């Protein structure tokens, strides 16, 4: 097996890079939980250096100087929420249990090949029956909730549970990550549930840092692959997939080198794979239309700060456990919806939603002694700007993010050593994410499961024999999950065993 990576470093959006001397950033993705336990087990990733440090809290400073800090035991969380509403504090564990149940119901579908719903093939019908059986693990109420979640907005769903705006804002932020939708847009309740599917050691909704940064996910997978005999080449950009008589026969690299092979798995997104590596004339017209219609407009940016010392929040000054977990700036549902309003009309948010963390509080190896990294995932930053270009407006975006955080961390500018600003355009240039979309395409229900990337082609095979899709543009979508690759590998091995390729 030969792996070809365009960049000088492996990992795509799961990468650690020393961007400034002594500061190792998880440049793009920053927390891990969706990585499938089967992938961790099968590849024995811990023996190749993979280790997760649980991120056990969520801290949300509020503009009025108060804060919501969910952490520790159920009792601690109850007390934190009860400061705002005892009704919400009562409801919160029930909400968590229900989301956990639904996520558990859905989790097995992540590592299955979606059924071909139009087929009468017994194997496909068996998959539908298995889904039906799986649905029976839910109560009737839970099943209805699941069906409603697929179409509701995160805000509407949370309104049914809670009255505290800050709590709803904190929870609904999971529903907008990576999507060009606001918390009141239908479909975001599903994205919320998607983020509940993470598990570390079996604990649903658990997120964690990877020791050494997210690049250690990729590096440990690479080490496992090499141990199985794979060859991995960096600085090896694929320019074209070579096709003869409707089947893949090899790839041509940017430097002109041609590599012949009969099986190709593309980890690039569907638009890049089908609309740039291939000529449209090599594909059926309706398939090309489906890929052209696949929604892949990016909505997020990333700002990584190298800090002289830990940030100090005016709502809860000094270093402490609140800096170890997720930190969220997005104090109300209206705030996040307004941030989306800007993006909807082609601008980055004047006051963005920022999901931050300080990974150096738990993994000091990432920065020089005493110094820290502040990793900021930012929404919204639409790929297509109404005015100007991203290279022209990148630093203004960085300033807006810095100003927004400064409202909560007054000495921020005094402690910044370096700042890396990545717009969706930069993500496209650097990582090859078309439209800067962090998930290789929106995770909305119209682009999921047997519809991903396009109806009729959700089983990792493509109209070109021997060419497979194995990245996040295939089921089950984005996140550092390993699932599309696992599923694609299973289908490829099946085809090889049956001598179909
Ligand atoms: C800013 C950001 C923050 C995120 N945060 C999180 C998070 O905290 N947690 C989480 O779980 N997920 C997060 N995600 C999503 C997650 O990182 C991605 O969904 C996931 O890493 C995608 O993996 P992939 O292998 O499908 O694709 P990619 O990571 O996009 O990998 C595709 C690879 O193909 C290579 N490539 C492209 N074109 C060519 C070519 N022509 N020749 C050779 N190689 C090529 C690219 O260089 C890249 O290495 C984030 C993503 C981004 C961008």
Instruction: Say yes or no: CB of residue 48 within 6 Å of ligand 1.
Output: no
Q: Which of 178, 194, 379, 432 has most ligand 1 atoms within 8 Å of CB, for mutation?
A: 432
pLDDT tens digits along 35-46: 999 999 999 999
Residue nearest to atom 33 of ligand 1 (CA): 12
Question: Which residues are CB-contacts of 211 (< 8 A; sequence separation ≥ 6)?
Answer: 51, 52, 53, 363, 365
Instruction: Say yes or no: CB of residue 194 within 6 Å of ligand 1.
Output: no
How many Å lie between the centroid of ligand 1 and the Cα of residue 226?
A: 20
> Bigger pLDDT: 322 or 106?
322
Question: What was the pLDDT predicted at 205?
Answer: 54
Distance CA 401, CA 25 (A): 18
pLDDT tens digits along 457-492: 999 999 999 999 999 999 999 999 999 999 999 999
- Phi (first) and psi of residue 479, to 5 degrees: 110, 150
Instruction: Say yes or no: CB of residue 7 within 6 Å of ligand 1.
Output: yes
Per DSSP, the residues of 106-152 read HHHHHTSPPP-TT---HHHHHHHHHHHHHHTTS-HHHHHHHHHHTTS
Question: What was the pLDDT predicted at 202?
Answer: 62
Question: Which residues are CB-contacts of 442 (< 8 A; sequence separation ≥ 6)?
Answer: 178, 179, 180, 181, 295, 296, 297
Distance CA 329, CA 154 (A): 17
Instruction: Say yes or no: CB of residue 29 within 6 Å of ligand 1.
Output: yes
Residue nearest to atom 3 of ligand 1 (CA): 29
How many Å lie between the centroid of ligand 1 and the Cα of residue 427?
A: 9
Instruction: Say yes or no: CB of residue 238 within 6 Å of ligand 1.
Output: yes
How many Å lie between the centroid of ligand 1 and the Cα of residue 12?
A: 4
Residue nearest to atom 49 of ligand 1 (CA): 12
Residue nearest to atom 16 of ligand 1 (CA): 479
Instruction: Say yes or no: CB of residue 479 within 6 Å of ligand 1.
Output: yes
Instruction: Say yes or no: CB of residue 363 within 6 Å of ligand 1.
Output: no
Atom nearest to 276 CA in ligand 1 = 41
Instruction: Say yes or no: CB of residue 457 within 6 Å of ligand 1.
Output: no
Question: What was the pLDDT predicted at 23?
Answer: 98
Q: Which of 2, 14, 33, 487 has most ligand 1 atoms within 8 Å of CB, for mutation?
A: 14
Question: What was the pLDDT predicted at 134?
Answer: 86
Question: What was the pLDDT predicted at 196?
Answer: 79
Question: Which residues are CB-contacts of 60 (< 8 A; sequence separation ≥ 6)?
Answer: 67, 68, 69, 166, 169, 170, 327, 328, 329, 330, 331
pLDDT tens digits along 355-392: 999 999 999 999 999 999 999 999 999 999 999 999 99
How many Å lie between the centroid of ligand 1 and the Cα of residue 218?
A: 10
Question: What was the pLDDT predicted at 201?
Answer: 58
Question: What was the pLDDT predicted at 204?
Answer: 53
Mean pLDDT to the nearest integer, 228-234 = 98
Query: Vertex 410, ends 408 and 413: CA angle to 5°?
Result: 115
Instruction: Say yes or no: CB of residue 25 within 6 Å of ligand 1.
Output: no
> Bigger pLDDT: 22 or 56?
22
pLDDT tens digits along 163-208: 999 999 999 998 899 999 999 999 899 888 877 777 655 665 568 9
Q: Are 213 and 16 in contact (CB under 8 A)?
A: yes
Instruction: Say yes or no: CB of residue 208 within 6 Å of ligand 1.
Output: no
pLDDT tens digits along 134-173: 888 899 999 999 999 989 999 999 999 999 999 999 999 9
Residue nearest to atom 12 of ligand 1 (CA): 479
Instruction: Say yes or no: CB of residue 30 within 6 Å of ligand 1.
Output: yes
> Bigger pLDDT: 393 or 105?
393
């Amino acid at each position: 097996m030969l792996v070809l990576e365009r960049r000088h470093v492996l990992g795509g959006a799961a990468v650690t890079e020393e961007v400034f001397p002594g500061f190792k950033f998880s440049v793009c993705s920053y927390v891990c939980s969706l990585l499938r336990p089967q992938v961790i087990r099968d590849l024995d990733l811990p023996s190749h250096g993979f280790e997760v440090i649980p991120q056990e809290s969520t801290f949300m400073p509020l503009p009025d100087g108060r804060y919501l800090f969910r952490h520790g035991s159920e009792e601690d969380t109850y007390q934190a929420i009860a400061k705002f509403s005892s009704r919400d504090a009562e409801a919160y564990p029930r909400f968590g249990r229900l989301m956990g149940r639904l996520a558990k119901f859905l989790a097995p579908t992540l590592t299955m090949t979606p059924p071909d719903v139009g087929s009468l093939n017994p194997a496909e019908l068996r998959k539908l029956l298995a889904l039906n059986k799986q649905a029976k693990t839910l109560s009737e109420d839970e099943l209805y909730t699941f069906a409603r979640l697929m179409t509701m907005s995160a805000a509407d769903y949370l309104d049914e549970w809670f009255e505290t705006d800050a709590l709803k804002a904190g929870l609904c932020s999971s529903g907008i990550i990576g999507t060009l939708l606001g918390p009141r847009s239908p479909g975001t309740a599903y994205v919320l549930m998607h983020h509940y599917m993470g598990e570390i050691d079996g604990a649903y909704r658990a997120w964690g840092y990877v020791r050494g940064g997210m690049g250690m996910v990729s590096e440990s997978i690479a080490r496992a692959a090499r141990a199985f005999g794979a060859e991995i080449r960096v600085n090896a950009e694929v320019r074209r997939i070579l096709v003869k008589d409707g089947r893949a026969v090899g790839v041509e690299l940017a430097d002109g080198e041609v590599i012949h092979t009969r099986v190709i798995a593309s980890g690039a997104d569907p638009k890049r794979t089908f609309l740039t590596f291939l000529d449209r004339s090599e594909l059926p017209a309706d398939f090309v239309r489906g890929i052209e219609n696949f929604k892949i407009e990016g909505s997020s940016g990333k700002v990584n700060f190298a800090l002289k010392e830990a940030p100090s929040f005016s709502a809860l000054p000094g270093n402490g456990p609140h800096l170890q977990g997720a930190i969220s700036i997005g104090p109300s549902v209206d705030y996040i919806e307004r941030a989306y309003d800007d993006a909807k009309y082609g601008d980055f948010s004047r006051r963005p939603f920022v999901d931050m963390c300080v990974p150096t509080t738990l993994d000091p190896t990432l920065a020089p002694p005493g110094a820290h990294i502040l990793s900021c995932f930012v929404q919204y930053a639409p790929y297509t700007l109404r005015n100007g270009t991203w290279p022209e407006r990148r630093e203004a975006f960085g300033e807006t993010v810095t100003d927004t955080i400064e409202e909560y961390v007054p000495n921020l500018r005094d402690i910044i050593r370096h700042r890396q600003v990545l717009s969706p355009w930069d993500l496209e240039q650097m990582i090859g994410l078309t439209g800067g979309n962090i998930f290789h395409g929106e995770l909305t229900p119209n682009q999921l499961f047997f519809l991903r990337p396009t109806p009729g082609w959700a089983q990792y095979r493509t109209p070109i024999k021997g060419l497979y899709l194995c990245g996040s543009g295939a089921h089950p979508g984005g996140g550092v999950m390993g699932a599309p690759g696992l599923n694609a590998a299973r289908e490829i091995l099946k085809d090889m065993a049956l001598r179909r390729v």
